[in-house]
Amino acid sequence: MADHQEASVTLPSDPASVAAARRYVAEVLGEWGLPDDAETAGSVRLIVSELATNAVQHTFGQSPTFTVDIRLEREEWLRVGVTDSHPRWPRRLPAAVQQDNGRGMVIIRWLAVEAGGRLSVTPTEDGGKTVWIALPWTVGAPAAAAGGC
C-alpha cells in the first residue's frame, strides 16, 4: 500500500447527503482493507454522519456544499475531515440545550478519544472550517490478524 492515500467527495448541503457521505466513506475504507463489520468502521461511519449532519444543519444555508476528505497516512493514521464554508466553528452547547440536540461534537470527540485518536478544527482559505478526526489505523495489526477477521 502507498505511504499516503486519499479520497474526497463534495456533496450538496442537503439531509440526503448525510447517508451518501456515510456510504462513500464506507466504500473507500473497504477498498483500503477495513472490514465493514470492524468496530473502527462503525465508529467512522457514525462520526461522518454526525459531521455531515452538522455541515447541513448548522451552516444555515451559507454553505451550499460540504466536502468529506479521507486520508490514510503511512498505514498509521486515518484522518477524516468534513469541510464547509460557514465561518462559525463547532462549539459545545449548554447542558440544558443538549437535551434535544447539540450532542454531535460530544459523541465525535468521545469516539475519537475512545479509539486512541483526536479531534481538531482547522480554518479554510475561504473562511470556513474543516473538522478533522484522526484515528490509529489498525488494519493489518497483529491483533487483527490473530483474530481472523
Query: What pLDDT was estimated at residue 41?
Result: 92
Is the pLDDT confidence value at 30 over 90?
Answer: yes
Cα 31–33–38 angle (5° rounding)? 115
As a whole-number percent, the residues of the chain with pLDDT over 90 amount to: 61
- How remote is the C-alpha of 105 from its chain's centroid? 11
Coil/strand/helix, residue 78: strand
Among 46, 64, 44, 48, which residue's Cα sits nearest to residue 56? Answer: 64
pLDDT (0 to 100) of residue 149:
37
pLDDT of residue 139: 82
- Give φ, ψ of 52 to 5 degrees: -65, -40
This prediction has a pTM of 0.84
12 pLDDT exceeds 70?
Answer: yes
Could you tell me which residues come within 8 angstroms of residue 27 by beta carbon, excluding any fewer than 6 positions away?
none
What pLDDT score was predicted for residue 144?
Answer: 36
Give me the pLDDT at residue 64, please.
93
